[in-house]
């Protein structure tokens, strides 16, 4: 897959998640969060009023630390495909 094709597939996967109206399992959300942050090169630290949720987010980000942006995009796409394939 070319870089341009990967970008298009990533944006399509993000759109499908954003348009989905049913709640997601917490583990899926954490993986998608970490992959998205890495794929978009966002170095923002997790913040919020709940320290436990911030700790889970920090841990998820730590697990993507060795990934490249393209690897994170592909992992995000794969996670979205897997979620929609097995959700019912």
Query: Cα–Cα distance between 44 and 42 in angstroms, integer?
Result: 6
Average pLDDT, the chain: 92
pLDDT of residue 86: 82
Question: Which residue segments constitute the domains of the chain, with CATH numbers given?
Answer: 3-86 (1.20.80.10)
pTM (2 d.p.) = 0.90
Half-sphere exposure of 50 (CA within 13 A, CB side): 4
> For helices 51-63 and 26-39, what crossing angle results, to 10°?
60
Under DSSP, the state recorded for 10 is H
- Whether the per-residue pLDDT at 29 is higher than 70: the answer is yes
pLDDT of residue 76: 97
Residue 6 class from Cβ within 10 Å (0-12 exposed, 13-18 middle, 19+ buried)?
middle
Query: Cα–Cα distance between 9 and 68 in angstroms, integer?
Result: 16
Which of 46 and 56 is assigned the larger pLDDT?
56
Which of 53 and 35 is assigned the larger pLDDT?
35
């Amino acid at each position: 897959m070319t870089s341009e094709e990967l970008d298009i597939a990533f944006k399509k996967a993000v759109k499908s998640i954003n348009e989905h109206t049913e709640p997601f399992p917490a583990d899926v959300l954490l993986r998608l969060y970490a992959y998205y942050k890495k794929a978009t090169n966002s170095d923002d630290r997790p913040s919020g009023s709940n320290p436990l949720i911030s700790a889970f987010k920090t841990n998820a980000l730590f697990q993507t630390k060795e990934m490249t942006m393209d690897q994170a995009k592909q992992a995000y796409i794969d996670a979205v495909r897997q979620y929609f394939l097995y959700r019912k």
